[in-house]
A and B are shown apart, each in its own frame.
Chain A
Amino acid sequence: MDFTIIIFILLIPMAIFLLLGIFNQKIKPAVSGYLGVLGLLASTLLSFYTAYQYFFVNGKSNEVYQTFVEKTLWMEFTETLHFDMGILIDPISVMMLIVVSLISLMVHIYSRGYMKGDEGYTKFFAFLSLFTFSMYGLVLASNLFQLYVFWELVGVSSYLLIGYYYTKASAVAAAKKAFIVTRFADLGFLIGILTIGYYAGTYDFGVLNDPGGTAIMNWAATSFMGLSALTWALILIFIGGAGKSAMFPLHIWLPDAMEGPTPVSALIHAATMVVAGVYLVARLFPMFYFVEQGFALNIVAYVGAFSALFAAIIAIVQTDIKRVLAYSTMSQLGYMMLALGVSGYYANEGLGFMASMFHLFTHAMFKALLFLGAGSILHAVHSNFLRDMGGLRKHMPITHITFLIAALAIAGVPPLAGFWSKDEILAAAYEHNKLIYIVGVLVAGLTAFYIFRIYFGIFWGKEKKYEHTPQEAPLSMTFPMLFLAFMSISAGFIPFGKFITADKIEFLAPIHYPLAAIAVGAGSMGIVIAWLFYKKESDLADKFAKTFGAFYKWTVAKFYFDEIYLFVAKKIMFNKVAAPIAKFDKKYVDGTMAAIGNKTVLTSEKIKGMQSGRVQDYAFAFVAGIIMIALLSIYLWPT
């Protein structure tokens, strides 16, 4: 592989970040927009070139996709345990390059229209570039530690972008929430990394993931509380992944993160950063699969399935369209996690792995499209809420059509992209675990329902009184939407099994007609019900909601998770733990330090008489000093 080209994929966004960041005030907004787009375009072309080289020219040897690594030593602890900085090229990292490049490029183009006239236009593009750089670094990382470094960088750029409207209190609060919740999860990740370093003795993905390597072969060597130490490490690492990918119960930051500008939601909180958790599990998939017969992987499966269902239920009753999409994202991420969780490793058993990556790819396309569509709608009606929208299909034809395509894709209607990847996931789940399969079908139905609920609510129904007539977005915004709509239609036809599999040997993944029929049936039912409820304004939905009573209320309140967290944080953590510790710190730790300081100053006051200013005293001290030293040296310390 040509690593000199690949390194530029990373360096270009970094350079643009520095350029825009340092000369923030001096660069005209128009220039900074073009710079951002052109830089990303260059990175995208290089990514595609890399992908072409890898998948079609020299990536395979003996029918197996090879892993290429180029790295430099950064810090060495032992022979095997060291921090490296490097680039790792294998099927999933190349696929992620494509996803990140494509979505980021589209979001850059879109932002030129969306952010027009914003005060911090240049700053915005600087942050976008920083994020893109960090994300590239994350997917290309050659070892766990490097991945962690970029993982945090991604978190920082996410924080900066959520809080982009820093004069808005809710945006600042959301940024803090996202940062603290994910940092909390990252603590687990860090402990997991250290545990891996200690018990596996290496951070290198090549060694860790080798099914015949020392790390996997010796997993049973050490155990802790009934499980292998490595299982614990993997669970801790998964906690980090669950934080970034908004898995239950660490999901609470994602809906609030919608306070950021909508292009940011599309890029970071729908298509790229939030899939980092999925990517992390996929990256360490051989470990998850082999260590302790996949104990940790089962946890991934159940957490994923539960999150998928949980989020889909909440999404049904949200009234803010961006929050609906946020919960939808969480639900679909759960889908990807459960697909990984039910996957095997060798050949066709690895269907779940392939399906998960496939869904990651297609989901990135249609979910980014949904967000960009939502952005275009917000742009036109200046509100996030469903109640302020209606009948927009006449005013915004392109947004309408592209949104419809994305909605059909996420609902799993053939032959759009979501259908294919969802089918593979359900097939994998069916083979492995019937319970998870049923949850999957249920979620498919719910997904179709909630997405068409907002679709009908936005584009059909009665027209609301708008301040000024909504208008279609400019070309800079519609072009990315059209492009992503094209991808949402066609991405499903990519034969993923040829490219991305757990054991890196290609296989054929056929369509499973009976399962597909069931999934499509569930999806269609969701769409039909949504059509009945929301196509025209009616009280059908309200009546229906009433029959659920308390459950409905619970759902609207998102099952009170925010309140539970607040209770735990404020009432228990702050009052019972933090406050006493703070008191102890102030009274005893600070007190001791202050006492030492005061004593020092006092001593210095006491000895000031030594410096008398008289030169004969100085001479006396001089000679006395010599005599004392001489006596001590000659008589006290025997030679």
Chain B
Amino acid sequence: MDFSNFLLMRQEIFLLAIILVLIIAEMFMPRKKKGSIVHLSIFLFGIHTVAGFLGIHESSMFGGMFRTNGLIHFFKNLLDVGVLIILLQSADWLQEKIVPQDNVAEYLILLFSSLLGLYFMISAGDFLMFYLGLELSSLPIAALAAYETAKRKSSEAGIKFILSAALASGISLFGISLLYATSGSIYFDDLLVLITSSRLSILGMILFFAGLAFKISLVPFHFWTADVYEGAPIGIASYLSVISKGAAAFILLILLFTILKPLMHVWENIVYGIAIATMFIGNLFALRQKNMKRFLAFSSIAQAGFILLGLIVGNQLGMATVIYFVLVYVFSNLAAFGVVQAISLRTGKEHMNDYEGLYRTNPNLSLVLMLGLFSLAGIPPLAGFFGKFFLFTAAASEGYYLLVFLAVVNVTISLYYYLLVVRAMFLRKSDRPIPFFKNGIYMRLGLIIAVLGILILGFYGPLYDYIYELSGSFNY
């Protein structure tokens, strides 16, 4: 093996290096200067994100355990951008709440470890690597969810997450072993030809699917979502809702479209049913949420239901539309989460009623939140509209008219509750509105990037074509 092949893993290596730097910094920095670790990590991660855009060629290493290609590389960059936005948005919170507790470096190390796990998960060339990545990405999150040790809800979130995650990955591992039992290999390249449609392999596929469905929060594997989002620090909630969910959707997409393609006649029925259930359950629950974090949790469940519309198509078109949707969703959801985080940090308020009259006191923040919610609702000409539009056309092109119709019904429901928030901010008056406050530079930057994403992706057409082209990297 040529040593230069390691360059294939340069994103993983760089991220690992950042983690090591942070460990060293944690050991040798005087306690009073720990705050600068936040700046350091944002700086390093910023470099990592920018450097990630350097091109990469398609190859695999370690006998096929690790592979990468244009699409995987693109998706890693997307995850990087998302995590960077989250870092920027939580920087103030870290400085004010976590640095005094003297465990900020651990927070960042855990976060980056989880991201590293996601890297390995989506770059996996066999089930072993996949499973290691899955675990590496989940375990730190349990700790992070419980990070605000002073809050009871935070600990509850941690416990609920670790229990559910353990169950999910256990079941997933069982599924993987059944697949191994029926085909005799764990390498994706071999499985392409080895997988057959037997009852045992179908059961294995379903168990494996459940493990990822847990991460994407599909019904009925979604119950943990709202509780964890509500209790966890908002940065972690947004990480779960976009980064971890997006990566899981991505690898599920790849595996279903490639090695599990022979079982498509089975999983398309499963996806069909789960899509309907997820959209409706997510939306109906979101309808009556008053806590902004729980509200966004259910909204993100409903959004996951929409992703399945592209999943069911099972070809290059479906791949491209799902990835484009996730791309748009990252920016839209992070714009919304960012505002919620800013307000929560400055005022401690997370209830929808607290947002009444926000436009009068903080017009910029309410505009950002409005853009984010409108994009999530899919209002043209924002990016969210095109994300949904492409998904729906993809599903319709394969003849899933009923599913598209139900999805449209759900879009209408979702519009209602997104508008509830907008109405509270813009039309309602309040005796005690949230007072005006100024955000830190990092928070502003984080929000601006998210808003730019919403606006530019909506107007910039060629990106979709680019994704579509990249989606040809896999054989279907």
Question: What is the interface of chain A, defined by CB distance below 8 A to chain B?
Answer: 597, 600-601, 603-605, 607-608, 610-611, 613, 615, 617-619, 621-626, 629-630, 632-634, 637, 639
**CA–CA, A113 and B203, complex, Å:** 86
- In the bound complex, CA of A637 to CA of B266 (Å): 8
Would you call B227 and A613 a contact (CB within 8 A)? Answer: yes
CA distance A623 to B227 in the complex (A): 19
Closest to A628 in B: B220
- A626 & B288 in contact (Cβ 8 Å cutoff): no
Stretch at the interface among B19-27, B80-88, B164-172: B164-172
Known contacts A618-B224, A621-B223, A622-B214; is-contact A633 B269 (Cβ 8 Å): yes
Given contacts A600-B284, A604-B288, A625-B219, 10 further A-B contacts (CB under 8 A): A607-B284, A611-B285, A619-B163, A621-B221, A622-B168, A623-B167, A625-B221, A629-B210, A629-B270, A634-B203
The docked-state distance in angstroms from the alpha carbon of A507 to that of B436 is 77
Q: How far is the CB of B165 from chain A (nearest CB, A)?
A: 11
Within the assembled complex, what's the spacing in Å between the Cα atoms of A633 and B270? 8
A639 contacts B226, C-beta separation under 8 Å: no
| B287 near A600: Cβ-Cβ < 8 Å | yes
Q: Nearest Cβ in chain B — how far from A621, in angstroms?
A: 5
A9 vs B416: C-alpha distance in the bound complex, in angstroms? 47
Chain A residue at smallest Cβ distance from B287: A604
Q: Is the Cβ of B221 less than 8 Å from the Cβ of A605? A: no
Shortest beta-carbon distance, B216 to chain A, in Å?
14
Knowing A611-B223, A615-B160 are in contact, say whether A637-B285 is a contact too (CB < 8 A).
Answer: no
Find chain B residues with CB under 8 A from A633 CB: 202, 206, 266, 269-270
B167, B207, B284, B287, most chain A CB atoms within 10 A: B284
Measured CB to CB, the nearest residue on chain A to B263 is: A639
CB distance from A603 to the nearest CB of B (A): 6
* Nearest B-chain residue to A617, judged by Cβ: B223
- A604 lies within 8 A of B285 (CB): yes
* Least CB distance, A443 to chain B, in whole angstroms: 52
CA distance A624 to B223 in the complex (A): 13
A contacts with B: majority SS: helix
Q: Given A604-B288, A617-B223, A637-B266, do A622 and B203 touch, yes or no (CB 8 Å)?
A: no
Beta-carbon contact of B284 and A604 below 8 Å: yes
Could you name 30 residue pairs across A and B whose Cβ atoms are closer than 8 Å? Answer: A600-B284, A600-B287, A601-B287, A604-B287, A605-B288, A607-B281, A608-B285, A608-B288, A611-B285, A615-B160, A617-B223, A618-B164, A619-B163, A619-B167, A621-B220, A622-B168, A622-B223, A623-B167, A625-B220, A625-B221, A629-B206, A629-B210, A629-B270, A630-B202, A630-B203, A632-B269, A634-B199, A634-B202, A637-B265, A639-B197
Interface string of B187-221 (1 = CB under 8 A from A): 00000000001010011001100100010000111
For residue B88, give the distance in angstroms from its CB to the closest CB of chain A.
Answer: 32
Instruction: Name B's A-contacting residues (CB within 8 A).
Output: 159-160, 163-164, 167-168, 171, 197, 199, 202-203, 206-207, 210, 214, 219-221, 223-224, 226-227, 265-266, 269-270, 273, 281, 284-285, 287-288, 413, 416
B279: min CB distance to chain A, Å: 13
| Chain A min CB distance to B398 (Å) | 18
Contact for B164 among A610, A619, A629, CB less than 8 A: A619
Bound-complex Cα distance A600 to B160 (A):
29
By a CB distance below 8 angstroms, the chain B residues around A613 are: 227
The answer for the CA separation of A603 and B285 in the assembled complex, in Å, is 9
A601 and B163 contact, CB distance less than 8 A? no
| Docked complex Cα distance between A60 and B424 (Å) | 67
CB pair B171 A626 closer than 8 Å: yes
Contact of A611 among B206, B226, B416 (CB under 8 A): B226
Q: Are B163 and A626 in contact (CB under 8 A)?
A: no
How close is A425's CB to chain B, nearest CB, in angstroms? 50
Nearest residue (CB) in B for A626 is: B210
Write out the residue numbers on chain B whose beta carbons fall within 8 Å of the beta carbon of A619: 163-164, 167
Can you name the residue of chain B whose Cβ is closest to the Cβ of A601?
A: B287
Closest-CB distance, A600 to chain B (whole angstroms)? 6
* Closest CB in chain A relative to B203 CB, distance in Å: 6
Name the residue of chain A whose CB is nearest to the CB of B161. A615
- Chain A residues whose CB sits within 8 angstroms of the CB of B159 once the complex forms: 615
Query: What separation, in Å, do the CA atoms of A467 and B207 have in the docked complex?
Result: 95
How many angstroms between the C-alpha atoms of A603 and B287 in the bound complex? Answer: 10
A292 to chain B, nearest CB (A): 43
The CA of A603 and the CA of B281, in the complex, are separated in Å by: 10
Q: Which residue of chain B is the closest to A605 with respect to CB atoms? A: B288
Query: How far is A611 from B221 in the complex, measured between Cα atoms in Å?
Result: 12
List chain B residues, Cβ under 8 A from A603.
Answer: 284
Given the complex of chains A and B, what is the CA–CA distance between A630 and B285 in angstroms?
26
Q: Is B220 a contact of A624 with CB atoms below 8 Å?
A: yes
Q: Are A615 and B288 in contact (CB under 8 A)?
A: no
Contact A622 B288 (CB under 8 A): no
CA distance A73 to B111 in the complex (A): 50
Cβ-defined contact, B265 with A639, below 8 A: yes
A220 to chain B, nearest CB (A): 41
Whether A639 pairs with B167 at a CB distance below 8 angstroms is no
B220/A639 in contact, CB under 8 A: no
Evaluate contact between A637 and B160: CB separation under 8 angstroms: no
Looking across the interface, which residue of chain B has its beta carbon closest to that of A637?
A: B269
C-alpha spacing A610/B227, complex, angstroms: 13
CB distance from B201 to the nearest CB of A (A): 10
Which chain B positions have C-beta within 8 A of A621?
220-221, 223
Does the CB pair B210–A625 fall under 8 Å?
Answer: yes
Question: A607–B285 contact, CB under 8 A?
Answer: yes
Cα-based distance from A632 to B206 in the complex (angstroms):
11
Interface pair A626/B207, CB less than 8 Å apart: yes
How far is A610 from B288 in the complex, measured between Cα atoms in Å?
A: 14
Quick one: closest A residue to B270, CB to CB?
A629
Q: Are B164 and A615 in contact (CB under 8 A)?
A: yes
Cα of A637 to Cα of B263 in the assembled complex, Å: 12
Report chain A residues within 8 Å CB of B167. 619, 622-623
Which partner residue on chain A sits nearest B197 by CB separation? A639
Residues of B within 8 A of A610 (CB): 281
Contact of A618 among B199, B203, B223 (CB under 8 A): B223
Lowest 3 CB-CB distances: which A-B pairs, in order? A625-B220, A618-B223, A604-B284
B334 to chain A, nearest CB (A): 25
CA distance A44 to B206 in the complex (A): 73
Bound-complex Cα distance A624 to B219 (A): 12
